[in-house]
Amino acid sequence: MELQMILEHIEKTDSYKRFGKVERVVGLLIEARGPESRIGEVCYIHTKLEDQRIMAEVIGFNEEKVLLMPYSAVSNIAAGCLVEATKKSLSINVGRSLIGKVIDSTGNLLDGTKLPKGLKEYPTEQPPPNPLDRPRIDDVIPVGVKAIDTMLTVGRGQRIGIFAGSGVGKSTLMGMIARNSDADLNVIALIGERGREVKEFIERDLGPEGLKKSIVVVATSDQSALMRIKGAYTATAISEYFRDLGFKVNLMMDSVTRVAMAQREIGLAIGEPPTTKGYTPSVFALLPSLLERTGTSKNGSITAFYTVLVDGDDLNEPIADTTRGILDGHFILDRRLAEKGQFPAINVLQSVSRVMPNIVDTEIMTLIQKARSILAIYQENEELIQIGAYKKGSNPAIDHAIQLQPKILGFLRQEMDEKIDRITALKNLQAILNGSSR
Ligand SMILES: Nc1ncnc2c1ncn2[C@@H]1O[C@H](COP(=O)(O)OP(=O)(O)OP(=O)(O)O)[C@@H](O)[C@H]1O
Ligand SMILES: [Mg+2]
């Protein structure tokens, strides 16, 4: 019986290596005649240098021609170079011994040393979990940032967008969440950052304490568009691997906008039409397929934080708009708050955790709504109050807000290295709100 199966297997096995030939190179795009392959397949291009082969990926077809893009820089490629199909899409090696390490998009250690032993091969492209197999989000995951843990509670397996311009505290916030949260493991994807920023993030924001329970995937801005996209896939795949093992994983991706920009580069190179803001249709196909992979599955959970870059305060920019529609919540980092030294600069009134009402009890929900309403009343009347046009005593709700708003803002402020648990934070907020009702 067994022999029968082996024989059948041998019969089905394709023992040919399939080769094609490079015909044209335009920018980063390589056109080859053959090999027989499919989209997303990894191919090796054998260059004119002996023993050198460059990894590339099939990204499209044009009539009979195969369009490829290399993972690394195109050098030594010439017309006539052989293109070898591998019948596989990109895989990485993953396992527990990767925890505490910094890797690149193809899963190699960034410092150039050898990967630890005992890792398992795992494809970077995976289908999202079946929607019917996804448990509902019903647990709180404390992240150790009090503005979030109280006003914008996150559920285990929730996917959040962090919308912010440059320099308002994204990296610091991600570092705080990585160090303080309740997750078993952080997977952090740094996509399209400058090299200097990567080192800064790992050493300053994450620190040795954070790195100990993290795997960092890095694709800097100088790397090819394909590598930048693969960084997002690789980080997502690593999260999925650990989710399958039952881990509570935190995935943080900075930034998903840079992933979209990389896809736009590839889309334009293969001749897709630019649509909104020059983004090509494939960008809007990539976003949901990538962001749907995280969340809960029957084995574990991936709580995900995706940063989205917004110029000025334009939340209707196409990538911001699309991601906001896919994710289960958005936190807005506000430059005006950062300028006032209000860190973390989360604008709680503009931010939403869509899962929160399902995971916290009504008592806490009432408390939070009270705090929100005080901030809202103050904000509505802020101009009047600031110029002294509001007369004290004319409206009890405004008087109340004037008294409490600074205390609530004070409560929401948190130094980078300050750690506070959720229950204490909630008690502190309650004390502020109660203190005034006397
Ligand atoms: N919780 C905080 N407490 C005090 N200061 C903070 C806090 N968070 C951020 N900052 C200040 O804001 C600055 C910018 O923060 P950060 O580097 O995290 O922003 P960023 O959004 O990642 O910036 P970039 O767009 O350049 O990547 C920090 O150097 C720090 O001075
Ligand atoms: Mg940053």
Query: pLDDT tens across 323-345, in order?
Result: 999 999 999 999 999 999 999 99
| Phi-psi category of residue 163: left, alpha or beta, with phi > 0 → left and psi -120 to 50 → alpha | beta
Nearest-atom number in ligand 1 for the CA of 167 is 23
Is residue 189 within a helix (H) or strand (E), and if so which, with residue range?
Answer: strand 185-191
Question: Relative to the CA of 333, which ligand 1 atom is closest?
Answer: 21
pLDDT value for 436: 47
- Note whether 350 and 308 are same-domain residues: yes
Ligand nearest to the CA of 338: 1
CA 219 – CA 398 distance, rounded (Å): 50
Distance 187 CA to ligand 1 centre (A): 20
**Closest residue CA from atom 3 of ligand 1:** 415
Q: Does residue 192 line the site of ligand 1, with CB under 6 A?
A: no
Strands (E), 201-294: 214-219, 248-254
Percent of the chain residues topping a pLDDT of 90: 76
State if residue 415 touches ligand 1 by the CB under 6 angstroms criterion: yes
Q: Residue 424: what are its φ and ψ, rounded to 5°?
A: -60, -45
Can you tell me the distance from the alpha carbon of 237 to that of 92, in angstroms, rounded to the nearest whole number?
9
Instruction: Give the chain's radius of gyration (CA, Å).
Output: 25
Domain boundary among 89, 117, 135: 89
Q: Is the CB of 221 under 6 A from ligand 1?
A: no
pLDDT digits (tens, 9 = 90+) for 142-172: 999 999 999 999 999 999 999 999 889 999 9
396 and 261 within one domain: no
How far, CA to CA in Å, does 142 sit from each of 22, 236, 283? 53, 21, 32
Could you report how far apart the first and last alpha carbons of the chain are, in Å?
83
The CATH code of the domain that includes 40 is 2.40.10.170
- Candidates 148, 170, 172: which one to mutate for ligand 1, based on the most atoms within 8 Å of Cβ? 172
pLDDT at 363: 94
> Is the domain of 418 the same as that of 334?
no
Does one domain contain both 408 and 270? Answer: no
Mean pLDDT for 37-51 is 90
Instruction: Band the pLDDT of 199: cuts 50, 70, 90.
Output: very high
pLDDT for res 82 = 93
In this structure, the number of other CB atoms found within 10 A of the CB of residue 326 comes to 15
Residue 309 CB–ligand 1 contact under 6 Å = no
Which domain, by its residues, includes 139?
Answer: 92-358
Domain-terminating residue out of 89, 117, 145: 89
- DSSP helix/strand/coil, 177: helix
- What average pLDDT score do residues 87-108 get? 95
Q: What are phi and psi of 409, to 5 degrees?
A: -60, -40
Q: How far is the CA of 280 from the centre of ligand 2 (A)?
A: 26
pLDDT at 64 over 90: no
d(CA 115, CA 101): 10
Residue 74 belongs to some domain of the structure? yes
Q: Which of 290, 380, 362, 382 is nearest to 327 (CA)?
A: 290
For residue 93, give both structure tokens: 């090696």
Task: Look at residue 10 and tell me if it is in a domain.
Answer: no
Judge residue 109's burial from the number of C-beta atoms within 10 Å of its C-beta, 0-12 exposed, 13-18 middle, 19 or more buried: middle
Mean pLDDT within 164-188? 93
The CB of 339 under 6 Å from ligand 1? The reply is no
Q: Looking at the domain assignment, is residue 413 inside a domain? A: yes
| Distance of alpha carbon 187 from alpha carbon 41, whole angstroms | 25
Is the same domain home to 345 and 397?
no
In a domain, 250, yes or no: yes
Do 208 and 336 fall within a single domain?
Answer: yes
Q: Whose Cα sits closest to atom 25 in ligand 1?
A: 166
- Do the domain assignments include residue 12? no
| Distance (Å) from CA 205 to ligand 1 centroid | 9
Q: Is residue 139 part of a domain?
A: yes
Q: Is there a single domain that holds both residue 371 and residue 419?
A: yes
Higher pLDDT, 78 or 149: 149
Residue with the two structure tokens 């004037």: 402
In a shared domain, residues 96 and 84 = no
Specify whether 340 is located in the same domain as 420: no
User: Rounded to two decimals, what is the model's pTM?
Assistant: 0.92
The contacts of residue 56 (CB under 8 Å, 6+ apart) are 30, 42, 43, 44, 45, 68, 69, 70, 71, 83
* Among 412, 436, 429, 414, residue whose Cα is nearest residue 173: 414
Summarize the confidence of residues 344-366 as an average pLDDT.
Answer: 95
Distance 322 CA to ligand 1 centre (A): 26
- Indicate the range of 26-35, 355-364, 404-413 predicted with least confidence: 26-35
> Could you give phi then psi for residue 373, rounded to 5 degrees?
-65, -35
Q: Region 120-147: what's the mean pLDDT?
A: 93
Quick one: 165 and 297 in the same domain? yes
Residue 149 Cα to ligand 2 middle (Å): 22
Cα-flanking dihedrals φ and ψ of residue 43, to 5°?
-125, 155
Residues 153 and 219 in one domain: yes
Q: What average pLDDT is seen over the chain?
A: 92
Structural tokens at position 211: 């790195």
From the CA of 256, how far away is ligand 2's center (Å)?
Answer: 13
CATH number of residue 372's parent domain: 1.20.1270.330
CATH number of the domain that 192 lies in? 3.40.50.12240
pLDDT band, residue 32 (cuts 50/70/90): very high
pLDDT attached to residue 1: 67
163 lines ligand 1 (CB under 6 A): no
Same structural domain, 234 and 182:
yes
- % the chain with pLDDT above 70: 98
Domain count across the chain: 3
Cβ of residue 36 lying under 6 Å from some atom of ligand 1: no
Higher-pLDDT residue of 133 and 262 is 262
Domain C-terminal end among 89, 104, 134: 89
437 has pLDDT over 60: no
Q: Is 59 inside any structural domain?
A: yes
Domain assignment present for 9: no
